C-alpha cells in the first residue's frame, strides 16, 4: 500500500507528512502528528470525541478518510489555548467543573466552540442541540451547558471576565468550590491517557478473541502469525509461567483462555507487532480449532440439573449466594393485612466510559515488569500479576494512567496480564488499545437481575415482613459477583425498619459476557425493586409515597437487616429536603398525574425536541449580531 | 393533539461507604515543601469523580496553604503508599481521612519548630491560605518562611497517616454483621412527560437530596449527582446490552443507546450534611449513592402519568405503548362489566 | 477497520466515471464516507479491505444546486447541513430543515450527503421519505462510448429493497431533483429512544399547502420510512385529504388509513401503533409550520389517561 502525499494546514502550520491510505484523519492527527487531544471514543461517529474543524466546519475525524483532508485547513483542540493560556470557553469549563474524567472534553470543547462560532447568542436550547453529537458519560452534561452559557456571556460582554475567576478562599477550603486541579490539562487536550502514550521501540498488540460462548480449545497454531515479518511475538496461555488466574474475589479467570473458552469475546491469544496493521493480520492468521460445548445462557437454567458446569469448583454454577435472615417472615406475613408480590427485572448495562481500555507494559532496566493502565485497583492488580508471571511482588510495578471513566469497569485485570507477558517475551514496550466494539463485547457489564419481592404490610402502612430473592446472571467469570451479591443483599430491603426479613441473592455462572463491578455494586438493582414495590403497596393502602416511607423509615439508633445498630440516620432529612424542593403535592400514587397541581413548575426544563435553531426568533438573534 | 402526559414519582435510598464487610484501609504521605507548597502522595485513583481536588482541599485546609499549591503524586505501586481502589464510594472517606492525618503530622512537625522559635504554645498556632500566626499575638509569617525556618533547623516537615474502618464480615447463615461504619441516605423526585403516541419518555426535572456527611467541594458533589442521575436515566429508559445465545447485538453506540445532551433533565441538587462521627473530616461520599433512586423515581413517575407499571428495565417506548394498550383493554373490560 | 490500496479523488465527472469503471471488484465509491467507515467495523462488516476508494466529493459537476421550472436540482455532494444553513433551500424545501435536524448531529451533517443516504437504501433512511414526498427523481450517469450519459428515475422506482437500488455497477449518482414547494408547511417526525443521534424506527415527512382561505387542504404530500423494506409515499391519504376541510376529525380519519403499511421485519406492533399517531402529528405540525393551527384534542388526552 503506497503512502498518500498530503499537503494540509494543521493548527496554522503546513504539514506534508505522507499518510497510509487506510488512515482516517483522526489517525493521522494522533499517530503521525502526535496531536493526541482528539480522541477515538467509538470510531463510528457516535460520540464526538474526535471532533476537529475542517475548513471552518466541525466534523468527526473518525469518519474522514485522511485523503479527504488534503488541502484543507484543520484546527484541533490544541489550537485553542494561546501560549498556554486557556481561552474563555476553556476557562469556563474549568470554572464550572464541566470536566470530570476529561476524555470527552476536547471534543465537547470543540463542539461548544463550533456552537458559539455559528451562533454567538445561542440560548440554552440551541447550545444543547449543537452539543447533541457529543456524548459524555461522567458529568450528566449540566455543568457543560453552564460553562458554554457563561463563556457566551463573557465573550459577548454580558458578564464580566471576572466571572471566570477562581472562587475566593473564604473562611475555609472545606466546602469551597475550588476548581478542579486536573481541568486545565483536560480542556486543552494536553493530558495523555494510555492510548495516547508512546514509547521508543513500542510494539502494538492485538487480541484474538473467542467466537464461541463455550468450547474446548483443541489446538492453537500460531506458526503463520509468528512467521509474519514485523511480528515480535505471539502469546497464549502456554506463556504463563506462574499461577494463571485473576479476579476480584475468586481467581477463576485465566489471562488468556486455557483449554476452553467460556464466553464470546474471551481472549485466546495475542500478537505484538511493529505496527497495528501487521498485528491485526497476524492475529487473523492464528488458527484455532474449537470443539463447541453445550452452553447455558439463562441463570435459572444454569442452576438446574444437567446444566453445563462452567467451573469445576462450582458444580451448581453458583458464584455466590448471600442469605440474610432476621426475625420470622412467616409470622410477619401472617400478621399482615396486605401481601403484595411482584417480580422485577433489570438489564445488563454497559459502562460506556468514553475511554476504551488501553495500556502499555515494559520491563525496565532493573527487570521490573511495569504496566501502565487506567486500572481502578493497581494494588490488587500487582498482587495478582506477580503470581501470574511468577515474580516477586516488588519486581512488578503498576502505574495508573489517567482514567477516561471507570464506574467499576476498569477494576478487572482483563488485559494487563497479556501486556506484561508480551513485554517480557519481547523485551520491548507493548501497547494495546481496545476498539469500542472490543470493549463492549469483552468487558464486564452491570449484573442483570431478576427479583421477586414479597412484602406484608398492616393497613396503617407498616411493613411486617419482606421476602426478597434476586437471581443475577454473573456471566462466564466471577469478577465482582460475590461482592455485588453481598451488597445487594445487605441494602435490598431499603432503609426501612423491618423486623422480619428473608433475603437471598444469587450470582450465577453462565456463558454470557461476565458481569462485574458497576457503580452501586448491586444496590441499584435491588432498590429499584423495593422502591417500585413500596409505591405499589402505597397505592393499595391509600398512602402518599413519602408517607409510606416515613412510616417505615429507619431512625437514629435503628437496627439494620444485618442487625447492625446505626448511629444517626438522615433519611428523614433527605426525604423532607426532596419533598420541599420539588414542591411535592401529597397523595397516594394512584396514577394521579392529570389531577396533580405540582407539575410544570420551576426546576423543570421545557420538553424538548430537535429544532431549537429553527424556532422563529432564533434567526432574528443572528441578524442582530451581524 | 399532544398526547403528552406528565407525572411525578419519588424514591428513597441508602448506601454504605467504603469496602463491604471487611476492614478497609488507606495510607498517605504528606510533606510541607519549599515555597510553602506541599506534596501529598497516596494511592489515589482519580477516575473523574474529582478526588484529586478534594484531597488538595483537605491538604490545603490541614496544612494552611492554598489547594493549587498542593501537588499530588502519581499513583504507582512502586512510589506511593497503598490506598487501595476507586470503588465502593470510598476515596473521600478512606483517602481523604488518611491524607488529613498525614497532613496533621506534617503540620505538627512544623508547628513544633515554629512554636519553639516564637516561644509560644503549639496549640496557639493557626494557619490558613499561606499564612501562619500565633493567636493572640502579632507573630506571623508566610508558610513559605515557616517551611524554610523549619528546614533550616534540620527538620523536614513530613508526615504519614493510615485510616481504617471497623467493620465485620457477615455471618454465613443469617447475614448478621456490621458491613460499614458509615451509611448515607438519599431521595429523588422525578417529573416526566410521556408521549402516549410514541411511548417516548422525557425526564424534565429531578430533585435530588443526598446526605454526604460533609461536602468538601459542593460543586463536585453536584457534578457527581448530575452524572449519576443521567446514568440512572439511561438505564431506566434506553440502555440495554442485548445478548442472544452468548452473542451481543449491541456492538457499538449506534445500537447501545446512551443519553445525549438533549435527554438531560434539569437537575436540582440538595446537599444534606450529617457528618460522620467516626472520622476526622466527617465527610462520607456521593459517587454511587446518587445513582440508586433515579430509575425507580422515573418508573414511579411513569406510573403516575399513565397508570402503566413498568417492572422490567429499560422502560422502552414499546413497553409503554404495550402497557397503555393493555390498560385500555382492561379499562374497556371493566367499563363493560360495570354497564 | 477499512483498509484500501488506492485512494482516488477525481476532479470531474468524466474522470470519476472512468476511474470507477476501471476500479477492481470490491472497490467502493464514497462521498461523505459517514456510512462507510462505521460499516467496516466489528459487529457489522468487520475488517474490510477495499482495492480502491473512489472519492467523488471533489467532482465539480456534483456540487451545489440549481432551481428552475418549479424544481430544484440538488447536486450529489450537497451535505445535509445545507438544508439548514441555506436560506433558499429552506424556503423551497420546507420539510428538509426538519429532516436535517433529525438526520444526525452538526458534525455528521457537515459530512453526510442526502444522496448517500438515498443510495444506501436503509429501510430506516431519513432522507428518502421527504424526497419521495417531493416527487423526487434521481439522476444517474455512466460512460457510454467514452461520453457521459445520464438517465433519470423516480426515486420511488430507484429504491427497490433494503440496501438495494437500481444503480448499475458502472453508474454514479449525480443529482436528485424535487419539487420546489415554497409556501408549503413542512414537518418531519422521527421516533427513537432519545432526542439526538437517533436511528429511526418510524419516520414521517409531510408538506401541506392550505387553500387561500386556509380552511381546506389544497395539496398534501406524505411519505413514511422505517415501516417496511422501502419508504412509502402515502398517495391514498394525500388524495383523501385534498380539498377536505382542515379539521381534527379529518386528520384523525386520514391517520387511520394505515392498513397494510407495516411490513418491517421487526417490531411490527410498535411501528403500527406509532404510525397513525405520527401521521396525525406530522399533518398537524406541517400545518402549524405555515401558520394554520388546529385546536388540541381534549377528548383524546382524557382517553389516554
* Residues A494-505 pLDDT 10s: 999 999 999 999
Inter-chain touch A495–B9, beta carbons under 8 Å: no
CA A244 to chain centre: 27
Q: Would you state the torsion angle of the CA atoms of residues A219, A224, A230, A233, taken in this order, to the nearest 10 degrees?
A: 20
What residue ranges in A210-244 does DSSP mark as E strands?
A: 215-221, 231-235
pLDDT surpasses 50 at A105: yes
C-alpha R_g of chain A: 28
Instruction: Note the pLDDT of residue A609.
Output: 74
End-to-end, the C-alpha distance of chain C in Å comes to 50
Which of A5, A57, A131, A275 is the best substitution to test chain C (most C C-beta atoms within 10 A)?
A57
| Helix (H), strand (E) at residue B39 | strand B37-42
Q: β-strands C28-30, C2-8: how paired?
A: unpaired
Q: Specify the residue for cell string 507528512.
A: A17
Decide if A57 is inside a domain.
yes
Inter-chain touch B197–C277, beta carbons under 8 Å: yes
**Rounded Cα–Cα distance for residues A210 and A438 (Å):** 12
Inter-chain touch A43–C41, beta carbons under 8 Å: yes
Looking at CA atoms only, how far is residue A71 from chain C in angstroms?
11
Decide if A199 is inside a domain.
no
* Residues A81-102 pLDDT 10s: 988 899 999 999 999 999 999 9
Residues whose CB falls within 8 Å of the CB of residue A599, separated by 6 or more in sequence, listed in order: A593, B6, B7, B8, B191
Inter-chain touch A47–B77, beta carbons under 8 Å: no
Looking at CA atoms only, how far is residue A41 from chain C in angstroms?
13
* Residues A295-309 pLDDT 10s: 999 999 999 999 999
pLDDT surpasses 70 at A140: yes
With beta carbons under 8 A apart, name residues in chain C contacting A284. Answer: 47
Mean pLDDT of chain A: 96
- DSSP-derived secondary structure letter, A179: P
Q: Span C100-124, mean pLDDT?
A: 95
* Residues A376-422 pLDDT 10s: 999 999 999 999 999 999 999 999 999 999 999 999 999 999 999 99
CATH code of the domain occupying C185-289: 3.30.390.50
Cβ–Cβ contact A364 with B under 8 A: no
Inter-chain touch B188–A346, beta carbons under 8 Å: no
Residues whose CB falls within 8 Å of the CB of residue A621, separated by 6 or more in sequence, listed in order: A119, A121, A123
With beta carbons under 8 A apart, name residues in chain C contacting B327. Answer: none
pLDDT surpasses 60 at B55: yes
Q: β-strands C202-210, C185-191: how paired?
A: antiparallel
Note the pTM of the prediction, 2 decimals: 0.97
**Rounded Cα–Cα distance for residues C109 and C100 (Å):** 7
Looking at CA atoms only, how far is residue C300 from chain B in angstroms?
7
The cell numbers describing A217, all together, are 480449545
Q: Span B199-223, mean pLDDT?
A: 97
Q: How many CB atoms lie within 10 A of CB C296?
A: 12
Measured between CA atoms, the residue of chain A closest to residue C46 is A437
- DSSP-derived secondary structure letter, A123: -
Instruction: Note the pLDDT of residue B76.
Output: 97
Q: Span C264-281, mean pLDDT?
A: 81
**Rounded Cα–Cα distance for residues A147 and A124 (Å):** 11
Contact assessment for residue A261 and residue A477, using Cβ atoms and an 8 Å cutoff = no
Which residue from B260, B198, B203 is spatially nearest to A605, judged by alpha carbons?
A: B203
* Residues C197-255 pLDDT 10s: 555 578 999 999 999 999 999 999 999 999 899 999 999 999 999 999 999 999 999 99
**pLDDT tier, A244 (very low <50, low <70, confident <90, very high otherwise):** very high
Q: Span C95-120, mean pLDDT?
A: 96
Q: Phi and psi dihedrals of A76, rounded to 5?
A: -110, 175
What residue ranges in A116-275 does DSSP mark as E strands?
A: 203-209, 215-221, 231-235, 260-261, 267-273
Inter-chain touch A382–B77, beta carbons under 8 Å: yes
Measured between CA atoms, the residue of chain C closest to residue B318 is C270
With beta carbons under 8 A apart, name residues in chain C contacting B252. Answer: 38, 41, 43
Residues whose CB falls within 8 Å of the CB of residue A34, separated by 6 or more in sequence, listed in order: none
Domain extents in chain B: 4-16+180-334, 25-163
With beta carbons under 8 A apart, name residues in chain A contacting B307. Answer: 591
* Residues A23-63 pLDDT 10s: 999 999 999 999 999 999 999 999 999 999 999 999 999 99
Inter-chain touch A21–C5, beta carbons under 8 Å: yes
Q: Phi and psi dihedrals of A48, rounded to 5?
A: 80, 0
- If DSSP codes are grouped into helix, strand and coil, which group holds residue A350? strand
**At A35, which CATH number?**
3.10.20.30
Angle at B305 between CA A470 and CA B230, to 5 degrees: 60
Instruction: Note the pLDDT of residue A612.
Output: 82
Measured between CA atoms, the residue of chain C closest to residue A118 is C85
The strand pairing partners of C68, in sequence order, are: C71
* Residues C138-152 pLDDT 10s: 999 999 999 999 999
Residues whose CB falls within 8 Å of the CB of residue A124, separated by 6 or more in sequence, listed in order: A145, A149
pLDDT surpasses 60 at A283: yes
pLDDT surpasses 80 at A617: no
Inter-chain touch B204–A400, beta carbons under 8 Å: no
What residue ranges in A407-563 does DSSP mark as E strands?
A: 430-433, 445-446, 449-457, 463-475, 501-509, 515-516
Q: Specify the residue for cell string 511495569.
A: A370
Cβ–Cβ contact B335 with C under 8 A: no
With beta carbons under 8 A apart, name residues in chain A contacting B82. Answer: 379
Decide if A69 is inside a domain.
yes
Looking at CA atoms only, how far is residue B121 from chain A in angstroms?
23
Cβ–Cβ contact B274 with C under 8 A: no
Please check whether the two domains, B4-16+180-334 and B25-163, share a CATH topology.
Answer: yes
Cβ–Cβ contact A494 with B under 8 A: yes
Q: β-strands C159-161, C65-68: how paired?
A: unpaired
Instruction: Note the pLDDT of residue A624.
Output: 40
Please check whether the two domains, C61-179 and C185-289, share a CATH topology.
Answer: no
Domain extents in chain C: 2-55, 61-179, 185-289
**pLDDT tier, C189 (very low <50, low <70, confident <90, very high otherwise):** confident
Q: Which CATH number fits domain B4-16+180-334: 2.150.10.10, 3.30.365.10, 3.40.50.920, 3.50.50.60?
A: 3.30.365.10
The cell numbers describing A392, all together, are 516477586
Inter-chain touch C196–B321, beta carbons under 8 Å: no
Distances (CA, A) of A117 to A53, A623, B261: 11, 14, 19
pLDDT surpasses 70 at B251: yes
Q: Count CA atoms within 13 Å of residue B133 on its CB side.
A: 10
Determine the topology of domain C61-179 in CATH.
3.30.465
Q: Specify the residue for cell string 472519492.
A: C55
Instruction: Note the pLDDT of residue A621.
Output: 41
Q: Span C158-164, mean pLDDT?
A: 97
With beta carbons under 8 A apart, name residues in chain B contacting C197. Answer: 253, 260
Out of B238, B252, B317, closest to residue C270 by CB: B317
Residues whose CB falls within 8 Å of the CB of residue A429, separated by 6 or more in sequence, listed in order: A199, A200, A201, A202, A203, A360, A361, A362, A423
Q: Which CATH number fits domain B25-163: 3.40.50.720, 3.30.365.10, 3.30.750.24, 3.40.50.300?
A: 3.30.365.10
* ipTM of the modeled complex: 0.97
Which residue from B149, B61, B146, B152 is spatially nearest to B104, judged by alpha carbons?
A: B61
pLDDT surpasses 50 at A548: yes
Measured between CA atoms, the residue of chain A closest to residue C37 is A63
Measured between CA atoms, the residue of chain B closest to residue A573 is B272
Instruction: Note the pLDDT of residue B151.
Output: 98
- Total count of domains within chain A: 1
Cβ–Cβ contact A497 with C under 8 A: no
Decide if A441 is inside a domain.
no
Q: Span B265-275, mean pLDDT?
A: 98
B121 burial class (0-12, 13-18, 19+ CB within 10 angstroms)?
A: exposed
What is the three-state SS of B289-334? HHHCCHHHHHHHHHHHHHCCCCCECCCCHHHHHHHHHHHHHHHHHH
* Residues A409-460 pLDDT 10s: 999 999 999 999 999 999 999 999 999 999 999 999 999 999 999 999 999 9
Inter-chain touch A611–C101, beta carbons under 8 Å: yes
Angle, to 10 degrees, between the axis of helix A142-156 and the axis of helix B218-237? 120
Inter-chain touch C42–A284, beta carbons under 8 Å: no
With pLDDT > 70 as the criterion, what percentage of chain A qualifies? 98
pLDDT surpasses 60 at A622: no
Decide if A61 is inside a domain.
yes
Which of B196, B197, B314 is the best substitution to test chain C (most C C-beta atoms within 10 A)?
B197
Which of B14, B195, B272 is the best substitution to test chain A (most A C-beta atoms within 10 A)?
B14
Cβ–Cβ contact A596 with B under 8 A: yes
* Residues B61-115 pLDDT 10s: 999 999 999 999 999 999 999 998 999 999 999 999 999 999 999 999 999 999 9
**Rounded Cα–Cα distance for residues A498 and A464 (Å):** 6
Which residue from A8, A413, A347, A372 is spatially nearest to A197, judged by alpha carbons?
A: A372
Interface of A with C in 126-165 (CB under 8 A): 129-130, 132-135
**Rounded Cα–Cα distance for residues A565 and A167 (Å):** 41
Inter-chain touch B11–A531, beta carbons under 8 Å: yes
Give residue A24's domain range: 8-79
- Active-site residue numbers of B? 288
Q: Span A144-154, mean pLDDT?
A: 98
Whether omega before B314 lies within 30 degrees of 0, making that bond cis, reads yes
The cell numbers describing A427, all together, are 523485551
Instruction: Note the pLDDT of residue B337.
Output: 73
Instruction: Note the pLDDT of residue C195.
Output: 59
Q: β-strands B125-128, B243-244: how paired?
A: unpaired
pLDDT surpasses 50 at A310: yes
What residue ranges in A331-444 does DSSP mark as E strands?
A: 338-346, 349-350, 358-363, 369-373, 396-400, 430-433
Which residue from A457, A447, A450, A412 is spatially nearest to A549, judged by alpha carbons?
A: A457
Inter-chain touch C84–A114, beta carbons under 8 Å: no
**pLDDT tier, A626 (very low <50, low <70, confident <90, very high otherwise):** very low
Which residue from A103, A605, A428 is spatially nearest to B262, judged by alpha carbons?
A: A605
Q: β-strands C65-68, C71-75: how paired?
A: antiparallel
**Between residues C106 and C260, which one has the greater pLDDT?**
C106
With beta carbons under 8 A apart, name residues in chain B contacting A263. Answer: 246
What is the three-state SS of chain C? CEEEEEEECCCCHHHHHHHHHHCCCCCEEECCCCCHHHHCCCCCCCCEEEEEEEECCCCHHHCCEEEECCEEEEECCCECCHHHHCHHHHHHCCCHHHHHHHHCCHHHHCCCEHHHHHHHCCCCCCCHHHHHHCCCEEEEEEEECCEEEEEEEEHHHHEEECCEECCCCCCEEEEEEEECCCCCEEEEEEECCCCCCCCCCEEEEEEEEECCCCCEEEEEEEEEECCCCCCEECHHHHHHHCCCECCHHHHHHHHCCCCCCCCCCCCHHHHHHHHHHHHHHHHHHHHHHCCCCCCCCHHHHHHCC
pLDDT surpasses 50 at C301: no
Amino acid at each position: 500500500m503506497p503512502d498518500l502525499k498530503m499537503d494540509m494546514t494543521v493548527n496554522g502550520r503546513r504539514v506534508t507528512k505522507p499518510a497510509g491510505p487506510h488512515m482516517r484523519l483522526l489517525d493521522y492527527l494522533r499517530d503521525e502528528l502526535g496531536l493526541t487531544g482528539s480522541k477515538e471514543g467509538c470510531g463510528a461517529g457516535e460520540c464526538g470525541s474526535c471532533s476537529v474543524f475542517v475548513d471552518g466546519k466541525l466534523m468527526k475525524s473518525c469518519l474522514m478518510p485522511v485523503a479527504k483532508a488534503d488541502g484543507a485547513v484543520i484546527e484541533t483542540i490544541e489550537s485553542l489555548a494561546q501560549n498556554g493560556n486557556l481561552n474563555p470557553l476553556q476557562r469556563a469549563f474549568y470554572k464550572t467543573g464541566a470536566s470530570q474524567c476529561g476524555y470527552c472534553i476536547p471534543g465537547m470543547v470543540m463542539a461548544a466552540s463550533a456552537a458559539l462560532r455559528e451562533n454567538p447568542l445561542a440560548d440554552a436550547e440551541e447550545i444543547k442541540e449543537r452539543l447533541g453529537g457529543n456524548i459524555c458519560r461522567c458529568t450528566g452534561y449540566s455543568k457543560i451547558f453552564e460553562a458554554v452559557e457563561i463563556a457566551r456571556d463573557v465573550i459577548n460582554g454580558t458578564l464580566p471576565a471576572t466571572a471566570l475567576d477562581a472562587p475566593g478562599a473564604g473562611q475555609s477550603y472545606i466546602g469551597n468550590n475550588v476548581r478542579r486541579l486536573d481541568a486545565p490539562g483536560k480542556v486543552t487536550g494536553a493530558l495523555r491517557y494510555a492510548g495516547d502514550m508512546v514509547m521508543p521501540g513500542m510494539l502494538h498488540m492485538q487480541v484474538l478473541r473467542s467466537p464461541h460462548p463455550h468450547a474446548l480449545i483443541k489446538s492453537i497454531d500460531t506458526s503463520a502469525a509468528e512467521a509474519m515479518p514485523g511480528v515480535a511475538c505471539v502469546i497464549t496461555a502456554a506463556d504463563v509461567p506462574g499461577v494463571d488466574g485473576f479476579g476480584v474475589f475468586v481467581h477463576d479467570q485465566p489471562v488468556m483462555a486455557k483449554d476452553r473458552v467460556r464466553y464470546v469475546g474471551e481472549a485466546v491469544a495475542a500478537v505484538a507487532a511493529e505496527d497495528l496493521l501487521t498485528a491485526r493480520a497476524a492475529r487473523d492468521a492464528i488458527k484455532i480449532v474449537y470443539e463447541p460445548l453445550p452452553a447455558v445462557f439463562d441463570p435459572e437454567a444454569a442452576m438446574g440439573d444437567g446444566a453445563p458446569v462452567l467451573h469445576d469448583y462450582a458444580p451448581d454454577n453458583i458464584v455466590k449466594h448471600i442469605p440474610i435472615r432476621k426475625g420470622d417472615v412467616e409470622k410477619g406475613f401472617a400478621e399482615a393485612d396486605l401481601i403484595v408480590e411482584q417480580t422485577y427485572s433489570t438489564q445488563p448495562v454497559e459502562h460506556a466510559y468514553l475511554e476504551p481500555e488501553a495500556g502499555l507494559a515494559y520491563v525496565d532496566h532493573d527487570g521490573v515488569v511495569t504496566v501502565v493502565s487506567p486500572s481502578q485497583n493497581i494494588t490488587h492488580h500487582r498482587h495478582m500479576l506477580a503470581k501470574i508471571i511468577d515474580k516477586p511482588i516488588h519486581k512488578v510495578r503498576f502505574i495508573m494512567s489517567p482514567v477516561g471513566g471507570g464506574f467499576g469497569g476498569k477494576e478487572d485485570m482483563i488485559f494487563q496480564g497479556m501486556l506484561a507477558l508480551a513485554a517480557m517475551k519481547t523485551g520491548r514496550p507493548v501497547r494495546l488499545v481496545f476498539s469500542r466494539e472490543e470493549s463492549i463485547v469483552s468487558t464486564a457489564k452491570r449484573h442483570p437481575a431478576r427479583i421477586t419481592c414479597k412484602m406484608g404490610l398492616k393497613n396503617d402502612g407498616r411493613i411486617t415482613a419482606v421476602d426478597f430473592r434476586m437471581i443475577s446472571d454473573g456471566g462466564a467469570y466471577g469478577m465482582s459477583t460475590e461482592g455485588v451479591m453481598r451488597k445487594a443483599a445487605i441494602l435490598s430491603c431499603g432503609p426501612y425498619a423491618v423486623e422480619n426479613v428473608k433475603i437471598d441473592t444469587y450470582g450465577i455462572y453462565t456463558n454470557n459476557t461476565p458481569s462485574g463491578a458497576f457503580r452501586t455494586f448491586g444496590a441499584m438493582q435491588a432498590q429499584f425493586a423495593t422502591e417500585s414495590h413500596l409505591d405499589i403497596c402505597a397505592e393499595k393502602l391509600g398512602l402518599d409515597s413519602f408517607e409510606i416511607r416515613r412510616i417505615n423509615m429507619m431512625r437514629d439508633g435503628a437496627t439494620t437487616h444485618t442487625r447492625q445498630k446505626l448511629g444517626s440516620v438522615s433519611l428523614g432529612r433527605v426525604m423532607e429536603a426532596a419533598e420541599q424542593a420539588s414542591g411535592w403535592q401529597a397523595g397516594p400514587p394512584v396514577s394521579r398525574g392529570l389531577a396533580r397541581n405540582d407539575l410544570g413548575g420551576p426546576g423543570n426544563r421545557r420538553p424538548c425536541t430537535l429544532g431549537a435553531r429553527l424556532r422563529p426568533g432564533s434567526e432574528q438573534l443572528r441578524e442582530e449580531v451581524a | 393533539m399532544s398526547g403528552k402526559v406528565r407525572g411525578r414519582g419519588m424514591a428513597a435510598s441508602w448506601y454504605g461507604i467504603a469496602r463491604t464487610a471487611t476492614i478497609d484501609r488507606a495510607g498517605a504521605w504528606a510533606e510541607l515543601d519549599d515555597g510553602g507548597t506541599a506534596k501529598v502522595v497516596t494511592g489515589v485513583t482519580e477516575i473523574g469523580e474529582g478526588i484529586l481536588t478534594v484531597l488538595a482541599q483537605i491538604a490545603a485546609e490541614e496544612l494552611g496553604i492554598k489547594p493549587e499549591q498542593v501537588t499530588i503524586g502519581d499513583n504507582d505501586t512502586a512510589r506511593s503508599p497503598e490506598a487501595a481502589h476507586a470503588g465502593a464510594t470510598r476515596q473521600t472517606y478512606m483517602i481523604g481521612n488518611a491524607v488529613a492525618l498525614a497532613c496533621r503530622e506534617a503540620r505538627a512537625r512544623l508547628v513544633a519548630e515554629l512554636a519553639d522559635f516564637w516561644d509560644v504554645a503549639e496549640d496557639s498556632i493557626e494557619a490558613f491560605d499561606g499564612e501562619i500566626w500565633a493567636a493572640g499575638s502579632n507573630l506571623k509569617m508566610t508558610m513559605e518562611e515557616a517551611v524554610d525556618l523549619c528546614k533550616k533547623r534540620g527538620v523536614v516537615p513530613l508526615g504519614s497517616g493510615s485510616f481504617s474502618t471497623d467493620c465485620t464480615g457477615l455471618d454465613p447463615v443469617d447475614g448478621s454483621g456490621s458491613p460499614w461504619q458509615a451509611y448515607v441516605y438519599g431521595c429523588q423526585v422525578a417529573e416526566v412527560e410521556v408521549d402516549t403516541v410514541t411511548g417516548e419518555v422525557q425526564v424534565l426535572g429531578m430533585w435530588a437530596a443526598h446526605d454526604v456527611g460533609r461536602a468538601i467541594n459542593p460543586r463536585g458533589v453536584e457534578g457527581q449527582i448530575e452524572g449519576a442521575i443521567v446514568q440512572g436515566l439511561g438505564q431506566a429508559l434506553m440502555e440495554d446490552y442485548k445478548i442472544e445465545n452468548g452473542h451481543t447485538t449491541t456492538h457499538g453506540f449506534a445500537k447501545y443507546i446512551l443519553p445525549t445532551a438533549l435527554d438531560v433533565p434539569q437537575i436540582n441538587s440538595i446537599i444534606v450534611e450529617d457528618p460522620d462521627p467516626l472520622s476526622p473530616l466527617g465527610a462520607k461520599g456521593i459517587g454511587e449513592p446518587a445513582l440508586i433512586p433515579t430509575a425507580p423515581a422515573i418508573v414511579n413517575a411513569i406510573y403516575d402519568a399513565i397508570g402503566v407499571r413498568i417492572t422490567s428495565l429499560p422502560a422502552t417506548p414499546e413497553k409503554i405503548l404495550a402497557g397503555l394498550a393493555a390498560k385500555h383493554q382492561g379499562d374497556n373490560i371493566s367499563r363493560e362489566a360495570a354497564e | 477497520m477499512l483498509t484500501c490500496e488506492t485512494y482516488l479523488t477525481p476532479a470531474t465527472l468524466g474522470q470519476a466515471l472512468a476511474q470507477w469503471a476501471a476500479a477492481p471488484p470490491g472497490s467502493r465509491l464514497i462521498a461523505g464516507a459517514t456510512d462507510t467507515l462505521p460499516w467496516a467495523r466489528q459487529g457489522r462488516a468487520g475488517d474490510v479491505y477495499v482495492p480502491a476508494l473512489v472519492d467523488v466529493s471533489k467532482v465539480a459537476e456534483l456540487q451545489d444546486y440549481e432551481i428552475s421550472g418549479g424544481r430544484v436540482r440538488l447536486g450529489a455532494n450537497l451535505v445535509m447541513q445545507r438544508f439548514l444553513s441555506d436560506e433558499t433551500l429552506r424556503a423551497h424545501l420546507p420539510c428538509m430543515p426538519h429532516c436535517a435536524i433529525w438526520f444526525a448531529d452538526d458534525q455528521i451533517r457537515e459530512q453526510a450527503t442526502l444522496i448517500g443516504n438515498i443510495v444506501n437504501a436503509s429501510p430506516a433512511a431519513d432522507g428518502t421519505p421527504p424526497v419521495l414526498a417531493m416527487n423526487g427523481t434521481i439522476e444517474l450517469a455512466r460512460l457510454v462510448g467514452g461520453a457521459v450519459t445520464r438517465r433519470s428515475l423516480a426515486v420511488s422506482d430507484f429504491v427497490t429493497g433494503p440496501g438495494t437500488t437500481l444503480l448499475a455497477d458502472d453508474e454514479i449518482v449525480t443529482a436528485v431533483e424535487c419539487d420546489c414547494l415554497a409556501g408549503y408547511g413542512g414537518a418531519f417526525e422521527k421516533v427513537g429512544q432519545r432526542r439526538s443521534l437517533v436511528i429511526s424506527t418510524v419516520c414521517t415527512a409531510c408538506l401541506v399547502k392550505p387553500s387561500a382561505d386556509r380552511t381546506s387542504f389544497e395539496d398534501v404530500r406524505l411519505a413514511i420510512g422505517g415501516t417496511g423494506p422501502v419508504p412509502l409515499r402515502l398517495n391514498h391519504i394525500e388524495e383523501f385529504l385534498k380539498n377536505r376541510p382542515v379539521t381534527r376529525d379529518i386528520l384523525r380519519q386520514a391517520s387511520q388509513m394505515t392498513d397494510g403499511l407495516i411490513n418491517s421485519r421487526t417490531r411490527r406492533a410498535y411501528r403500527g401503533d406509532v404510525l397513525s399517531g405520527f401521521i396525525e402529528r406530522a399533518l398537524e405540525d406541517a400545518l402549524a409550520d405555515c401558520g394554520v393551527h388546529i385546536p388540541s384534542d381534549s377528548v383524546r388526552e382524557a382517553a389516554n389517561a
